[in-house]
């Protein structure tokens, strides 16, 4: 009975970075996470949404979709844009690789997502968009219903 889902659509405005992470954190709260787990999730969401805004849409205002699914003790977070896409995903995943150093990007976004979440999948097609799927496992049977 704890399974749940939600889908959020927001425009790619930078002030929505904070909104997106609050929404996902509130949704994750039903898994009775620790403060540390919530902080991990907020940070990973912030990275993916920021990437959609600056890389995917290069600051044009378009649609970002955030979907969350709770299945047993697992939280899936899917963040999708329909922007320029990533030509070389392997290179993009490398720590310190960034295509926008002039914006003071550190190239650590994907590394943060990988470190803070239990898994990270990147699907991307040039000029179609990018879909990031991240999973976090909550191993404690702590949900009472």
45 near 78, Cβ under 8 Å? no
Active site residue 16: no
Active site residue 73: no
Cβ at position 98, least distance to another protein in Å = 9
Active site residue 4: no
Asked if residue 30 binds a second copy (CB under 8 A), the reply is yes
Site string for ligand ADP, 62-101 (x = CB under 6 A): -------------------x-xxxx-----x----xxxx-
Candidate list 73, 76, 105, 114, residue with the active-site label: 105
Which of 105, 54, 109, 100 lies closest to 81, judged by CA?
54
């Amino acid at each position: 009975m704890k399974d749940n889902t939600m889908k959020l659509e927001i425009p790619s405005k930078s002030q929505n970075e904070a909104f997106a992470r609050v929404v996902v954190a509130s949704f994750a709260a039903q898994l009775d996470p620790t403060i540390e787990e919530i902080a991990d999730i907020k940070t990973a969401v912030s990275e993916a949404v920021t990437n959609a805004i600056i890389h995917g849409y290069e600051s044009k205002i378009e649609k970002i979709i955030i979907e969350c699914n709770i299945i047993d003790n697992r939280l899936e977070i899917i963040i999708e844009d329909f922007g320029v896409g990533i030509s070389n995903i392997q290179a993009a995943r490398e720590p310190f690789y960034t295509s926008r150093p002039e914006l003071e990007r550190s190239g650590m976004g994907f590394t943060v997502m990988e470190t803070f979440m239990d898994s990270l999948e990147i699907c991307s097609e040039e000029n179609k968009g990018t879909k990031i799927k991240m999973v976090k496992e909550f191993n404690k049977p702590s949900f009472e219903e």
